Structure 1
Amino acid sequence: MADAEAEIHACDAAVTLAFSVLGKRWNGMIVSSLGGGPSTFVALRRAVAGISDTVLSDRLAELAQAGLVARTVDAGPPVTVSYTLTASGQGLLPILDQLGAWASVNLERHSG
């Protein structure tokens, strides 16, 4: 029984870690938006309607620190900054698609 409890604890810890990043408002939408390829800050702000510049900047930094997003600076001129998903970030795309499909079936009927 101790092995089963250890497995449950390890799963709980992994899920908790995943949601500590993905559970923050906007992060899933940012990752999904970057699934279409590299994007600039301005394009991301347009794609994630309602997010402020400050929050977008903070979320991009958090996602980069988590290893999901890479930030690239092109010295230009003009200087441009683009954001892309890392391999780890790309790995989330099918999971986010599955989560969205699950939510549309299981949560739609319970909202409002």
Structure 2
Amino acid sequence: MQDGTPPPPGHPRETDAARGDAYARDCPTRQLLDRVGDKWSVLVLQLLGAAPRRFSALKREIGGISQKMLSQTLRSLERDGLVTRHVEPSVPVKVSYAITPLGGELVGALALMIDWAERRMTTVLAAQRRYDTSAG
């Protein structure tokens, strides 16, 4: 653990050499969790998990995302190997995005997370109101 002793069996920090350790301060796993936990990344990956899409379609389907944020999100997901960018040499140039097999591994987990959030949002909002009332 932090003092150098190994974690007990079954502890979340018990890892093998091939795995990262998200609980370790400098583990790159945290960067990946930050990316896949980002709301825009989650929504883009979910849409691309269903079918490849062009930039304009993604922008239209994701309410509230700016062109700049969508560009940054797609670039980051491409860099991480979760999304591919395909340029069709035409006039005008057509660019489409698709999920990679690695990104596809995430889609099921993300779908569960989105479903949970949609189903439980009223409960969370009620808890926030109770907290704000008692803390205010």
TM-score range, shorter chain: 0.7 to 0.9
CA distance in 1, matches of 2:120, 2:99: 28
1:7 maps to which residue?
Answer: 14
Check 1:34–1:15 CA distance in 2 against 1; reply closer, same or farther (3 A cut): same
More helix by share: 1
1:49 maps to which residue?
Answer: 63
Q: TM-score, normalised by structure 2?
A: 0.70
Helix, strand or coil for the counterpart of 2:103? Answer: helix
Deviations 1:58-81 (A, max 9, x none): 110001001111001010133100
CA distance in 1, matches of 2:35, 2:108: 17
Higher relative contact order (CA 8 A, sep 6+): 1
Gaps of 5+ in 1: none
1:71 paired with 2:82, answer no
Computed over aligned residues only, the root mean square deviation of the Cα atoms, in angstroms, reads: 2.4
CA distance in 1, matches of 2:95, 2:59: 13
1:36 paired with 2:50, answer yes
Post-superposition offset of 1:107: 4.7
1:109 maps to which residue?
Answer: 123
Check 1:80–1:104 CA distance in 2 against 1; reply closer, same or farther (3 A cut): closer
Helix, strand or coil for the counterpart of 1:81? Answer: strand
Gaps of 5+ in 2: 127-136
> What is the one-letter code of the residue matched to 1:111?
L
Percentage of pairs with the same residue:
29
1:25 paired with 2:29, answer no
| Bigger Rg, which one | 2
Q: TM-score, normalised by structure 1?
A: 0.83
Deviations 1:61-107 (A, max 9, x none): 00100111100101013310000000011111100112123334555
Helix, strand or coil for the counterpart of 1:31? Answer: helix
